[in-house]
Amino acid sequence: MNAAIVGASGYGGETLVKLLSAHPKVTLKAVTSRSKAGEPVSSVIPAMRGVLDDMLFENSDPAELAAREDIDVAFLALPHGAAAEYARHLVDAGKKVIDLSADFRISDPAIYEEFYGASHPDVDLLAKAEYVMPELSDDAWEQKELFACPGCYPTSILVPLLPLVKAGLVSKEHIVVNSYSGTSGAGKQSKEAFSYCEVNESSKAYGLPKHRHLSEIEEQLSKAAEDKVIIQFNPHLAPMNRGIATTITVPSAGATLEELYAEWEKCYSDKPFVCILPSSTRPDTKYVVGTNRVDMSAVKDDRTGNFVITSAEDNLVKGASGQAIQILNLWQGWDETTGLI
Ligand X SMILES: NC(=O)C1=CN([C@@H]2O[C@H](COP(=O)(O)OP(=O)(O)OC[C@H]3O[C@@H](n4cnc5c(N)ncnc54)[C@H](OP(=O)(O)O)[C@@H]3O)[C@@H](O)[C@H]2O)C=CC1
Rounded to a whole number of angstroms, the minimum distance from the CB of residue 54 to ligand X2W is 31
Q: Does 324 bind ligand X2W (CB under 6 A)?
A: no
How many angstroms separate the CA atoms of 42 and 47, rounded? 7
Binding region for ligand X2W (CB under 6 A) out of 2-10, 168-176, 178-186, 255-263? 178-186
Angle CA 283–165–242, to nearest 5: 30
Q: Is the Cβ of residue 187 or residue 251 nearer to ligand X in the bound state?
A: 187
Q: Is the Cβ of residue 184 or residue 220 nearer to ligand X in the bound state?
A: 184
Binding track over 179-218 against ligand X2W, x by CB under 6 A: --x---xx--------------------x-----------
235, interface contact from ligand X, ligand X2W, none, CB < 5-8 Å by kind: ligand X2W
Q: What residues have CB less than 8 Å from 196, skipping those under 6 apart? A: none
267, interface contact from ligand X2W, ligand X, none, CB < 5-8 Å by kind: none
Q: Is the Cβ of residue 288 or residue 298 nearer to ligand X2W in the bound state?
A: 288
Binding track over 136-155 against ligand X2W, x by CB under 6 A: ---------------xx---
Asked whether the bond before 209 is cis by omega within 30 degrees of 0, the reply is yes
79, interface contact from ligand X, ligand X2W, none, CB < 5-8 Å by kind: ligand X
SS3 80: coil
Rounded to a whole number of angstroms, the minimum distance from the CB of residue 261 to ligand X is 29
207, interface contact from ligand X, ligand X2W, none, CB < 5-8 Å by kind: ligand X2W
Q: Give the interface with ligand X as residue ranges (CB under 6 A).
A: 7-13, 33-36, 77-80, 82, 100-101, 151-152, 184-185, 187-189, 315-316, 319-320
CA-wise closest residue to 130 among 109, 151, 144: 144
Q: Are strands 146-148 and 96-99 parallel, antiparallel or unpaired?
A: parallel
Q: Is the Cβ of residue 12 or residue 171 nearer to ligand X in the bound state?
A: 12
> Would residue 197 show up in a list of annotated catalytic residues for this protein?
no
Asked if 18 contacts 48 with a C-beta cutoff of 8 angstroms, the reply is: yes
Residue 232 pairs with which residues in a beta bridge? 176
Asked if 216 contacts 154 with a C-beta cutoff of 8 angstroms, the reply is: yes
Q: What residues have CB less than 8 Å from 140, skipping those under 6 apart? A: none
Phi-psi region of 171 (alpha: psi -120 to 50; beta: other; left: phi over 0): beta
Q: What residues have CB less than 8 Å from 46, skipping those under 6 apart? A: none
Which residues are marked as active site?
152
